[in-house]
Amino acid sequence: MKKNRLLALFLIIGTNSASAASELSIGNNFDLHYGLAHHYLERADFDLAELELQEAILRKPDSHKAHRDYMITCLTHLNIAQAIAEFMITFGLGKAIPLNEAEQQQLNRDAARAHYRKALKYESKNRLDREIFELTWSNYYLPNNPTIMRSLAFALSNAFKHDEAEALYRESFEVSPETNDSTEDAYAHADFAYMLGKMSRQNEAIEEIKKAIAIDPKSPALHADMAWFLEAKGDLSGATHEVAKAIDLSPNYVVGNIEVPTSSHDFFGLKMMTYHKEQPIYSNAGLWQKLAKLLDKQGKYVEAKKAYERSLQLDPQQDDIKKRLSEMQQKQS
């Protein structure tokens, strides 16, 4: 029965509420942490199991069963000295030494990092439910870390939990005021804008992209994003300007992945989860094609033709552009 209650708590925390874990008091909940430790023990994840056992012991230092299980994880890590100490505590031959405040904070940071790394592994396997579960626990241990908050918001957005995601994005901006050297903040605004766009809140999305560009004005991807939103709104002139800006900033006509910087918020060098690390950067050929189509829509055929030709020069395998150029040539003749 207890196992079922714990499992229910895990499912509630992991999949139904972004804030549920942070609403739990970090000062108690021995059973929850002990149960979570066994969740990982059953999956042979001894690293996370050990951290959760330490968290459980922090809340109930005289628990013999927690010290017993901690002894087992110590043995799996070949930490013999600690295993002996846990053996003695388990059988009443010694007492646990309480952690001081600094040690407790470090334990929470270690737990947050371990859950975050686990979430990254689930992200790579497209296990969205487990990803949210791990990110929620990471957020539980470090509730005011912008990187964790934004990654959790990103995952919740992918799970169509937009209200919870929006609340986390907005809270993350409050705890991390934007600075010109925080590229992660720029991508977070762009991700938030993308979510707002999916919710048909185009004007708000454009405002978020403006904030992103203000932080990182030299990012071709952000200007391309702005072009997409402006075109969706019907502002073809504005979209054209943004694509042209992206072309000016796009380096060396190289197709690759946008390099999302490591966290600027002191989170162990881990990277924020974002759309911009998944999507290929616009190739210069693609940007020229986009510029050409926007000009074409506005009836600026001479400029459009030059842009089509430039795109085709960079990528000759574009049959749709060849067809459009042929149509334009026939109209001229």
Kindly report, residue by residue over 177-226, the tens digit of the pLDDT.
654 456 778 889 999 999 999 999 999 999 999 999 998 898 888 999 99
**pLDDT for 2:** 37
Q: Tokens for 270?
A: 């881990």
Instruction: Name the 3-class secondary structure at 262.
Output: strand
Please give the helix or strand (H or E) that residue 270 lies within, else none: none
Per residue in 130-150, pLDDT tens? 999 999 999 999 998 888 999
d(CA 2, CA 92) in angstroms, rounded, equals: 26
d(CA 202, CA 262) in angstroms, rounded, equals: 29
Q: Of 93-97, 122-126, 166-170, give the lowest mean pLDDT range.
A: 93-97
**pLDDT for 277:** 54
d(CA 194, CA 153) in angstroms, rounded, equals: 12
**pLDDT for 23:** 45
Q: Is the pTM of the predicted complex or chain greater than 0.85?
A: no
d(CA 179, CA 216) in angstroms, rounded, equals: 10
**pLDDT for 178:** 53
CATH code for the structural domain at 144-280: 1.25.40.10
Instruction: Please measure the distance between the N-terminal and C-terminal CA atoms of the chain and give it in whole angstroms.
Output: 82
Percent of the chain with pLDDT over 90: 55
**pLDDT for 24:** 47
Q: Which CATH number fits domain 1-142: 2.30.30, 3.40.50, 1.10.3470, 1.25.40?
A: 1.25.40
In the chain, residues under CATH classification 1.25.40.10 are 144-280
Has residue 258 got a pLDDT over 80?
Answer: no
d(CA 302, CA 128) in angstroms, rounded, equals: 48
d(CA 200, CA 120) in angstroms, rounded, equals: 29
d(CA 84, CA 39) in angstroms, rounded, equals: 24
Has residue 99 got a pLDDT over 90?
Answer: no
pLDDT-derived band at 29, boundaries 50, 70, 90 = confident
